[in-house]
Amino acid sequence: MPELAWVNGEITNLYDAKVSFMDHGYLFGYGVYEALKVYNGKPFCVEEHMDRFERSMKEIRIKPDLSRKETIEIIYDLVEKSELQDAFIYLQITRGVGPRNNPSLPGAKPTLSMFVAYLAPLPDSVRQDGVKAILVKDDRWAHPHIKTLNLLPNILAKQIAEENNAYEAILANEEGIVTEGASSNVYAVFKDTIVTRPTDGKILSGITRLVLCRIIEQNGFKYKEDYFTTAELKEADEVFVTNSGAEVLAVTDIDGDKIGNGKCGPITQKLYDLFMQEVSRTTGR
């Protein structure tokens, strides 16, 4: 099935798509993005992703040409044309094209682009065995709550994780307080209580996190938003991460230390099952 791109109204093969060298997203990282999971040919949590996309645009003073309704229609049209069932949609908007010596670009037309690409479901064995993570100092920029294109620290953290045969890098600040993963939100289970860091402007609040928090509340789990250290994380009964691609995924090894019994724990498994029920309810998967 084709992987397609949409750039300012033109649909092409993904790897044939082009933007200007003078685009300020390319020159300055002046832009924001979103990534949505597609199940059974249907995008998941479109409205929630658009809420965050619009908030991020407002934060960096980008005014889109298209309305939310028009953007969503393009998303659905692109997925339909691709005929992909398991995929993800990536949206990006930048300040636009113009001289490098004028970063503010007053009156410039923003560059909106998006693509749809195949995304294979994770194997069942990974769900059961969980994944390895490592701890990395969180030295990212000062506004992590905006889904900016400036992802170099995240990418470097991911590279360090890969060099250590780990799936994810879990970030912590100077005081050893866990913030989030390089591409995920992080949770610890202490006895029967699920704990995750508050959305205090120091983390990106994931859409999967938003959905999971609703599920936790609706199903009566013990839950609180609170801070925890890397040492406390390693002593947790269960650890898991969430994002659009991995959904709810157990972490069973951190820096070589086994978490719990080294397998996906019962609370993590139950939350994954409930999350996928919500996916099925909303997408028909």
Catalytic residues: 147
What is the arrangement of strands in the sheet containing 31-39, beginning at the earlier edge strand?
10-13, 4-7, 111-118, 87-94, 31-39, 42-43
Question: Locate tokens 């995304």: which residue?
Answer: 119
CA angle 36, 185, 234 (to 5 degrees): 150
CA dihedral 271, 134, 29, 197 (to 10 degrees): 50
Residue (of 185, 137, 138, 182) closest to 162 by Cα position:
182
3-state helix, strand, coil split of the chain in percent (to 5) is 30, 30, 40
Helix (H) or strand (E) holding 89: strand 87-94
Which residues are within 8 A (CB) of 98 and not within 5 positions of it... i.e. 6 or more apart? 22, 24, 105, 108
Strands (E), 95-246: 111-118, 131-137, 168-172, 178-181, 185-190, 193-196, 222-225, 238-243
CA dist 61 and 137 (Å) reads 30
